[in-house]
């Protein structure tokens, strides 16, 4: 008890345990957290299975509450010992750490009982495993991946709005073609748009399928044309990725004058363009 109180007074030491994994205590703490996360995920899997008996369900529920209290204490400790708690609280992992505890408390409010399993969002915390295992190369690859996606984001957003409009149009056309058939799956425009998304993304559940000749012909056209449309995001991501890889190896070109610039340069030596 006294050790814990002493530890609470020694913020830097607490920080080394909670936030870093260089010391044995820090490593032990990190691994304990990882195991707790894994346990809570497995508990959720087993608990929701209809074949699980009531006793086991009760044990697992208790475990969930214990683990959530543990994560809550961990979250409070982080806020307490971090040098800039506000920055942490608003970072990706800060938000995940909070969302990993809140849902279970919220589920105590009768109307919100179904949000309970949202605590599974704590799975995102498993991404910290690369830091714990000191796999910094993997972290870099992760950042490169995110960078590629971030750079493609604007293109992809424009593309998404286009796809949304397209599935609305295709869904409506299909509703006009097949909707008035007896026994048709295309009961309303919403369902038809759902079908259009399922078809254009090549998921193809088959829960809603055309039955008339004209409906099948139109579906075929949508699939073949759609395949090209859906090829676009792959093209976007590929192009960005190749660009990024080239930039990493060969350095960059100035976007204004086209002259080669160093990776560390902040302004083009030739034309002064900000990089």
Scan residues 181-220 and list those touching its own copies (CB under 8 A). Answer: 187-191, 193-194, 197-199, 201-207, 209, 213, 216-217, 219-220
| Least separation in angstroms between CB 43 and its own copies | 10
Site for its own copies in 47-66 (CB under 8 A): 48-50
Q: Near its own copies by CB under 8 A, which window of 1-9, 55-63, 71-79, 227-235?
A: 227-235
Q: Please report where in the chains the tokens 């589920």 appear, as a residue.
A: 107
Of the candidates 253, 263, 197, which has an alpha carbon nearest to the alpha carbon of residue 230?
197
Site for its own copies in 112-141 (CB under 8 A): 114-118, 120-121, 123-124, 126-127, 129-130, 137-138, 141
Site for its own copies in 67-86 (CB under 8 A): none
Q: Near its own copies by CB under 8 A, which window of 12-20, 71-79, 85-93, 170-178?
A: 170-178
85 vs 220 by CB, closer to its own copies: 220
| Least separation in angstroms between CB 5 and its own copies | 36
Distances (CA, A) of 196 to 87, 173, 203, 213, 235: 43, 10, 10, 17, 22
Of the candidates 216, 215, 196, 218, which has an alpha carbon nearest to the alpha carbon of residue 205?
196
Q: What is the C-alpha to C-alpha distance for residues 186 and 195, in angstroms, rounded to an integer?
A: 8
Q: Does 243 bind its own copies (CB under 8 A)?
A: yes
- Cβ–Cβ under 8 Å, residues 26 and 20: yes
Site string for its own copies, 147-166 (x = CB under 8 A): -xx----xxxxxxxxxxxx-
72 vs 253 by CB, closer to its own copies: 253
Q: How many CB atoms lie within 10 A of CB 43?
A: 19
| Least separation in angstroms between CB 119 and its own copies | 9
Q: Please report where in the chains the tokens 């002064």 appear, as a residue.
A: 272
Q: How many residues does the chain have?
A: 275
| Least separation in angstroms between CB 58 and its own copies | 17
Tokens at residue 60, please?
């697992």
Q: What is the C-alpha to C-alpha distance for residues 26 and 22, in angstroms, rounded to an integer?
A: 6
Residues in CB range of 188: below 8 A, 6 or more apart: 175, 179
- Cβ–Cβ under 8 Å, residues 255 and 248: no
Site string for its own copies, 250-269 (x = CB under 8 A): xx-x-x--x-----------
| Least separation in angstroms between CB 14 and its own copies | 28
| Least separation in angstroms between CB 184 and its own copies | 11
Q: Please report where in the chains the tokens 């109307």 appear, as a residue.
A: 111
Q: Which of 45, 65, 136, 267 binds its own copies (CB under 8 A)?
A: 45
Q: Near its own copies by CB under 8 A, which window of 11-19, 64-72, 75-83, 233-241?
A: 233-241
Distance of CA 275 to the CA centre of its chain: 30
């Amino acid at each position: 008890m006294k050790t814990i109180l002493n530890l609470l007074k020694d913020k830097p030491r607490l920080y080394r345990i909670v936030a870093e994994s260089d010391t044995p205590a820090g490593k032990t703490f990190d691994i304990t957290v990882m195991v707790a996360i894994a346990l809570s995920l497995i508990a959720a899997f087993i608990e929701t299975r209809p074949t699980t008996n009531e006793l086991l369900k009760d044990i697992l529920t208790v475990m969930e509450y214990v683990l959530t209290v543990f994560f809550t204490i961990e979250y409070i400790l982080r806020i307490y010992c971090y040098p800039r708690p506000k920055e942490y609280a608003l970072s990706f992992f800060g938000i995940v750490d909070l969302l990993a505890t809140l849902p279970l408390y919220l589920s105590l409010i009768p109307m919100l009982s179904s949000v309970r399993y949202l605590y599974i969002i704590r799975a995102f915390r498993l991404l910290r495993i690369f830091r714990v295992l000191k796999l910094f190369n993997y972290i870099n690859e992760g950042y490169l991946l995110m960078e590629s996606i971030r750079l493609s984001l604007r293109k992809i957003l424009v593309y998404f709005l286009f796809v949304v409009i397209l599935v609305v149009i295709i869904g409506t056309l299909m509703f006009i073609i097949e909707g008035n058939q007896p026994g048709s799956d295309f009961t309303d425009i919403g369902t038809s748009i759902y079908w259009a998304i399922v078809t254009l993304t090549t998921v193809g559940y088959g829960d809603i399928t055309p039955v008339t000749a004209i409906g099948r012909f139109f579906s075929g056209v949508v699939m073949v044309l759609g395949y090209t449309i859906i090829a676009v995001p792959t093209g976007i991501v590929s192009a960005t990725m190749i660009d990024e890889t080239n930039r990493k190896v060969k350095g960059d070109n100035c976007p204004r004058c086209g002259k080669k610039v160093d990776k560390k340069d902040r302004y083009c030596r030739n034309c002064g363009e900000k990089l």
